[in-house]
Chain A
């Protein structure tokens, strides 16, 4: 703040600061005077520095009795014009050598030049510097957690993997953020020191709802018993998922007793029409508001499965689900694709896959279904294009290599398929499906032992990853039979039968010698089933 010139009352500024215009006017006047005196700026600066060199402690200025600076004290009587007195000490004459309207005497000016910095200020400054240093450290550690969160969600919802519809990658990034926080906490041996935060958790749950469905979120939220949590500014966004999960549970609780009794019943003995009528009655019953209508419709599909009504009936019910809740794509889209596949309506299947991919470019399952549909239509170029698109959004993914190998193998290019498998196993962590594809390729190359080893790796991988499929077990049975591994063959056949299936016709025919592996695995459906 500049000095207040209380003598200039005509501006009516009172005790407030001078108007800027007046200050600038005075500055300009001073400057004009200085220019007229032709005093170079360098001399002016030198004069200031000389004055600073001659400065005296501020204490001395206040101590009027001990004036040893050589400035002359003048009594009030000796200064005729009161306006000539120093505005600070009131004893000496104003130092007009500084400026014509300068308010202070030379001695006061010296004291003001040497006004000491307050020790409290130094303490505050040192504290601020220490806190700023600590802030840099906290900033760095927090950034380690925030970086994967930023990678997933971007800034203010713009950018990031979610915006690119790479939902599985985004979930991976959120998981990494939690891992980073845990690692830091372990390093500092302090539980819960660092955390990805509530906002991050909410973002992660919203992405989970898109990638895996709202019921997954509801399942996670069900562990949180405090209902007040949904008043939180971030958590309230998750309330709909919690409510949906509650409605799903309510629907399941009432539907369960209706269908449960028929789970072990022969399909022919399942009263499908009666089940559907009972489910339909729930829609208009006294507790109808507790249930989601599309969940009831979904269970009609389940009734159709129990009664073995076929893909056409299942499709009809799933389309009804879609009509009731078109936004709930997580519930019906993959099921619709499966129905279309069984009905050999490949164009419809591809359309559904496109819809899934449009929402999540990480949906490996949708790419695989789409590529296989093209393969079945003998359109291998389009299948390879789908595989390339999948690899673009899911680089170094074992499923991508498996799909690529399958397409080349079905196309008849066994050597390239074998190379892709080898590349995939070297460039990724491997997967059940990639090992299975390698086994089929080696089978086509008449390397029976190699095929059995590969399928054994697939079998072990499935055990650990819990991704056993009926295709895998049939492939294991085939390779075991051809390799003379009777014990494994028996084990797998038993497994198939225990799960209500029978050995695939293609497998049985290859074992019997009525079909060759090339006939089964090249062209057509290109698989054991």
Chain B
């Protein structure tokens, strides 16, 4: 299974690399010790940094949420611009009616790839997501019910998303999105 994970991360390397950087950044911000600072290791750590578990709920939530949020904020405009150009308008390297070339296609292509790459790296590692879930809803959780309610959707999304990323299902979803966009 780890091979599928690594392939998924290699396919989306720009997003995975930046996600690692943002995780490291978040660790520094939240005072979490980081064991290694090598961002590209072709194993289960690809796309994440090895860090100590946060002890408090706010830190756990922020650590899970912030790096993905930054990747999402950067990825959305890229994905939308690329998808609008290639998938919705169907821009190609050549304007078929006139036979003339247009380089805007390559801009859209790069933006689409980077957008997908960033959007495929927006969830925490399963361990981190499960830790957040446990802190919120575990047997020993003493978290206020208000926080439990408020954080339910983001926490559930992060747990689900982390599993999708672990098995590279998000890459398949992205591929399906591209195919559907091209055909519809």
Residue ranges of A at the interface with B (Cβ–Cβ < 8 Å):
1-4, 16-18, 20, 23-24, 27-28, 31-32, 35, 41, 44-45, 48-49, 51-52, 58, 88, 104, 109, 112-113, 115-118, 120-122, 124-125, 128-129, 131-132, 135-136, 138-139, 142-143, 145-146, 149-150, 156-157, 191-202, 220, 223-224, 226, 229, 232-235
Contacts and interface: CB of A to CB of B under 8 A. Distances in A.
B77 A2 contact: no
A142 B81 contact: yes
Contacts of A157: 184
A416 B59 CA distance: 75
Contact of A138 (B81, B92, B130): B81
Among all A-B residue pairs, the 10 with the closest Cβ atoms? A199-B90, A197-B89, A112-B33, A121-B21, A139-B81, A135-B77, A52-B31, A197-B91, A197-B90, A135-B78
A63 B80 CA distance: 48
Contacts of B92: 197-198, 232
Given A1-B48, A193-B102, A195-B104, A27 B91 contact: no
**Interface of chain A: mostly helix, strand, loop or mixed:** helix
Contacts of A23: 53, 127, 130-131
Nearest to A4: B50
B77 A139 contact: yes
A1 B41 CA distance: 12
A427 to B, nearest CB: 34
A41 B147 CA distance: 16
Nearest to B21: A121
A121 B34 CA distance: 15
Contact of A146 (B89, B138, B139): B89
Nearest to A23: B127
Interface stretch (B93-101, B148-156, B168-176): B93-101
Interface in B14-46: 14, 17-18, 20-22, 24-25, 27-28, 31-37, 39, 44-45
Interface in B118-135: 118, 125-128, 130-131, 134
Given A1-B50, A198-B92, A32 B45 contact: no
Contact of A131 (B21, B73, B78): B78
Given A2-B125, A115-B24, A125-B21, A198 B90 contact: yes
Interface extent on B, as a size class?
35 or more
A234 B99 CA distance: 16
Interface string B142-180: 000000000000000000000000000000000000000
B101 A121 contact: no
Contacts of A1: 44-45, 48-51, 125, 127
B8 interface: no
A112 B35 contact: yes
B4 interface: no
A132 B53 contact: no
A31 B140 CA distance: 8
A113 B125 contact: no
B96 A16 contact: no
